[in-house]
Structure formats: C-alpha cells, structure tokens
Amino acid sequence: MEYVIDTSTHKVIIFTKESCSYCTKAKNLLDSKKVDYKEIDIEGKEDLKRALVLKTNGSTTVPQIFIKGEYIGGCDSLYALDAKGQLDEKLGLEEKLQ
Ligand SMILES: N[C@@H](CCC(=O)N[C@@H](CS)C(=O)NCC(=O)O)C(=O)O
C-alpha cells in the first residue's frame, strides 16, 4: 500500500535521520524559539522515504520541514526564512509588547 504523508496533523513537522547535523541545526533553531514540533525519523523506512520525496517535489535529503502544512524545505530554507524575518510569523509567534 502506498504511504501518504499528512502534514496537517501538527503545527511543525520535521522529517529527520539520526546523526544528521543539519537536522540538529534545524531543531536547534526551533528549540530556540520554544516551538513544539513533531519529529519523524525516516531512517530505514523506505515507503516513508519514497512518500517524502513525492511530498517535497524530489528532495532526497533530511531534514524536511513543514509548518502548518506548508512545505518549507530543509535546514538552509528554515534559516533563510528566519534571516528574512518571516519564520516567526509562519510559526504564529507574536512579538510580546510591553
Ligand atoms: N542543504 C540541505 C542539506 C541537508 C543534507 O545534506 N542532509 C544530509 C544529512 S545531514 C542528507 O540528507 N544526506 C543524504 C542522506 O542522508 O540520504 C539542508 O539545508 O537541509
């Protein structure tokens, strides 16, 4: 049976493998923003890997990140969004005004 990925189940979903430095770096950024995320380890799960390639328009690396169902990309894309000041908005983090 073909595996279908549903990215609407959690606000942030990150597909990872163990011993992946880019995955750690991406999670560090999310952790620094105190954002909860669902981590899915794809190591050894061939049907899940195939489904993820389809879901990400052909990306074969990890991490692969989705926010509110929107495909963000990998670690570099996550950091690029933050550098542009757009990540907090996508995460729904509001600036706490005094
Ligand atoms: N530019 C990518 C680099 C990601 C990357 O190279 N990830 C490595 C693991 S740390 C990878 O997926 N290598 C291929 C593999 O493990 O199958 C990003 O920012 O996410």
| From 17, 22, 49, mutation site for ligand 1 pocket: most ligand atoms within 8 A of C-beta | 22
Nearest atom in ligand 1 to 74's CA: 20
Average pLDDT, the chain: 95
Taking alpha carbons only, the member of 44, 32, 40 closest to residue 56 is: 40
User: How far apart are the CA of 22 and the centre of ligand 1, in A?
Assistant: 6
Give the CA radius of gyration of the chain.
14
Here the CATH number for the domain that contains residue 50 is 3.40.30.10
Q: Is the pLDDT of residue 29 over 80?
A: yes
**Alpha carbon 24 to chain centroid distance?**
11
Predicted confidence (pLDDT) per residue in 35-76, tens digit: 999 999 999 999 999 999 999 999 999 999 999 999 999 999
Number of independent structural domains in the chain: 1
Does residue 5 sit within a domain? no
Does residue 69 sit within a domain? yes
Give the predicted TM-score (pTM) of the model: 0.94
Q: The domain containing residue 45 runs over which residues?
A: 12-93
